[in-house]
Structure 1
Amino acid sequence: MPGDNVFQAKFRARSVARKMSKAADALADAAKLSAAAWAAFQREYADVMTPRPQRQQRPFQF
């Protein structure tokens, strides 16, 4: 900002950098947790998600 000295500018920059670093860490944690949740979902519901064999249909005849 105009009229600020160097120390105030550095202080503000550090404050913003700290917030951005925390946001980046939270984003990485969210990605890890969502991957773990998806793996748990697949593990628990694997029997439901596997495709069932289709029943053989008779071929169409006139």
Structure 2
Amino acid sequence: MATTANISKKRKFIREGVFHAELNEFFTRELAEDGYSGLEVRVTPQRTEIIIMATKTQQVL
């Protein structure tokens, strides 16, 4: 039986998509001159990893 704390799969999918889109937009603006090419988000129970892909990696660091 579902509780009020659980969200529907549709809402969770939409929330994750919006989160990814906002991160992508932010990094596109901030790292455009550093060759930003995308990101990957990995969510585990203990942490969330955001992997930034860029052509000029030393400038991103």
Please report the TM-score for the alignment, with normalisation by the length of structure 2: 0.44
Higher fraction of helix: 1
Higher fraction of strand: 2
Please report the TM-score for the alignment, with normalisation by the length of structure 1: 0.43
Larger radius of gyration: 1
Q: Which has the higher contact order (CA 8 A, sep 6+)?
A: 2
